[in-house]
Amino acid sequence: MFNMFTQLIVVLYVLDNDTNTMVAISVCIGLVIEGWKITKVMDISVDMANPVLGIIPRVTIKDKSSYAESPTKRYDKLAFKYLSWVLTPLLVVYAVYSIVYEEHKGWYS
């Protein structure tokens, strides 16, 4: 999921800066590939019967059973916990620095 999020940010950045068409196409293809990878490791279902706020379909994302029962999931969870302790404060500090001292063209650039 994180790779798809970062790939989406790259796509928005490339489209915002009017880069070469070949670069934009390759980055968009990368985003599609990331979406395909997610469907291979996660079960994604759309529930039209219980919409959010009455209009938006509810999307449910679950791990595939082979991953959910493996010891890899436990190690992934532990690694993400420790990385988040370090990276979250760094991200917040850099975001504040960027907002205060750098110029931005748009809300996502």
Give pLDDT, residue 108. Answer: 60
**Which residues make Cβ contacts (< 8 Å) with residue 12, sequence separation at least 6?**
108, 109
Q: Of 2, 55, 3, 65, which Cα lies nearest the Cα of 33?
A: 3
pLDDT tens-place string over residues 35-93: 888 887 788 888 877 777 878 888 777 877 776 677 877 888 889 899 999 999 999 99
Give pLDDT, residue 51. Answer: 76
* 8-state DSSP, 19: -
Q: Of 50, 1, 8, which Cα lies nearest the Cα of 27?
A: 8
